Amino acid sequence: MALKIRLARAGSKKRPYYHVVVADARSPRDGRFIEALGSWNPLLPKDGERVKVDADRVKHWLSHGAQPTDRVLRFLDEAGIAKRPARSNPNKALPGKKAQERAALLKKAQEDAAAAVAAASAAPAEAEAATAE
């Protein structure tokens, strides 16, 4: 059975409140769960007690193979229970393939134009040198 440590929504409309629960991965978000491990109240101020988690029970379920969701893993990382891997994408700032092709064409056109200007300015100088001889 695949276990997830995830959030189950509670609270009324536009007043969210979440329970941190251990549930079977196949059960619905707000459906059946195995154990409640804590809560998250996103309406509280950031410096307040927004997240409450039972660290011992979370460690127990992690040792039994439960996988936390991304949001829960953030909470566990802040609490020092689990380590969240850094997301590094070195290619994020690079332009896509088509943009690279357009940049290459533009660079080639600029080089050709620069070569044509250099050739045009060199031709009158050569003509003057030939007539001077």
**pLDDT value at position 94?**
85
Strand partners, 5: 22, 68
Using one digit for the tens of pLDDT, what is the confidence trace for 53-93? 999 999 999 999 999 999 999 999 999 998 988 878 888 88
Sequence-separated (6 or more) residues with CB below 8 Å from residue 24? 1, 2, 3, 4, 32, 34
**pLDDT value at position 76?**
93
**88's tokens:** 């590094």
Asked whether residue 124 carries a pLDDT value surpassing 80, the answer given is no
Distance CA 99, CA 91 (A): 14
- pTM of the full structure: 0.65
**pLDDT value at position 70?**
92
Contact 76, 61 (CB under 8 A): no
CATH 3.30.1320.10 correct for 3-79: yes
